[in-house]
Amino acid sequence: MEEKQAFHVNGYLATVVLLITLILGGILFALNVESSPILSVIGFVLMVCSILFLSSITIVLPNEAKAILFFGKYLGTIKSNGLFITIPLVRKIPVSLKVRNFNSAVLKVNDSDGNPVEISAVIVFKVVDTAKALFGVDNYRDFVEIQSETAIRHIASKYPYDTFEDNDVTLRGNTTEVSEELAKELEDRLSVAGVEVIETRLNHLAYATEIASAMLQRQQAKAILSARQTIVQGAVSMTQMALEQIEEGQEMKFTDERKLQLINNLLVSIITDKGTQPVINTGDVRE
């Protein structure tokens, strides 16, 4: 099923013409019933046709379309808003073209690491093909709801909730990328229903309640470990730079033992999370 334009004419002009035709047909029918049967038949036909076409008057509201069915056959869609006259004896099905929001339920899904997470999203969509929306699926609103939840589950299972690796895509740290991928997947899934996805956005993301406390401790441990690694790397770089600057600027050469002692003192002073206290070496004290 593909959408096409249905036959329709301006309702205001057509109504005036049909009313004139109806009056003319009535005059011919009334004045020539006995004198001229042929003109009476013509007048009767004009009256019947005028009444039939007048019964096909339809009003299309802004951001609305009407699909035209003639005894079960799809003839087309009227998308222009206003007053129109179309083919008589047809069924006119209204379809809203307005932008809509769908807020999915909070779903419990296992991420790529197997951790249960709670996730939900807001889907912004609108109907762009009335034929597919009405005849391609049973109910396009239910179809959007079910396919949206299916796509959310699929996307959530592809990525971990969180990680401390810089190159990894995560649900918590890359919500924009995840939302864009969700929109692309929904666009493919909902094209059969004539629905266009305008925007998707995650509006709820958290660990499931049964593991939330344990995962919080795990996050804290990973954060501490990551911070310590950064501190150690910086401390080593700073110690190396300090030794090079001392030897070059003061033209001093340290023995291996003195280097180890200096490195140890610098690393301890940089890495420790408490304030360091200087110790002054006064030499050996002898009586």
Better pLDDT: 247 or 183: 183
- Read off the pLDDT of residues 249-273 as tens digits, 9 standing for 90 and up: 666 666 666 667 667 766 666 666 6
Please state, for a pLDDT cut of 70, what percent of the chain lies above it: 77
**Cα–Cα–Cα angle for 156, 160, 166, rounded to 5 degrees:** 130
**CA within 13 Å, CB half, 121:** 31
Domain span at residue 72 reads 9-95
**CA within 13 Å, CB half, 87:** 19
DSSP state of 98: S
- The tokens of 33 are what? 């019933």
* Same domain (yes/no): 106, 181: yes
* Cβ neighbours of 194 (radius 10 Å): 23
* Amino acid (1-letter code) at residue 131: A
Instruction: Indicate if the pLDDT at residue 280 is higher than 80.
Output: no
In whole angstroms, what is the distance from residue 178 CA to residue 147 CA?
Answer: 17
If one counts the domains in the chain, the total is: 3
Burial of 242 (0-12, 13-18, 19+ CB in 10 A): middle
Evaluate whether residue 1 is within a structural domain: no
Instruction: Indicate if the pLDDT at residue 239 is higher than 60.
Output: yes
Evaluate whether residue 166 is within a structural domain: yes
* Same domain (yes/no): 222, 186: no
Last residue of a domain, one of 95, 116, 145: 95
pLDDT of 281 reads: 52
pLDDT of 278 reads: 57
**Residue that has been written with the tokens 């004539």 in this structure:** 194
Evaluate whether residue 287 is within a structural domain: no
- Read off the pLDDT of residues 150-199 as tens digits, 9 standing for 90 and up: 999 999 999 888 775 666 788 888 888 999 999 999 999 999 999 999 99
Strands (E), 72-187: 73-78, 82-85, 91-96, 100-103, 107-110, 116-127
Last residue of a domain, one of 95, 129, 151: 95
Helix (H) or strand (E) holding 207: strand 195-207
pLDDT of 129 reads: 94
- The tokens of 184 are what? 């692309």
pLDDT of 217 reads: 67
* Same domain (yes/no): 200, 108: yes
Instruction: Of 144-148, 180-184, 206-210, 229-233, give the lowest mean pLDDT range.
Output: 229-233
Evaluate whether residue 3 is within a structural domain: no
Evaluate whether residue 264 is within a structural domain: yes
* Same domain (yes/no): 29, 87: yes
Last residue of a domain, one of 48, 73, 95: 95
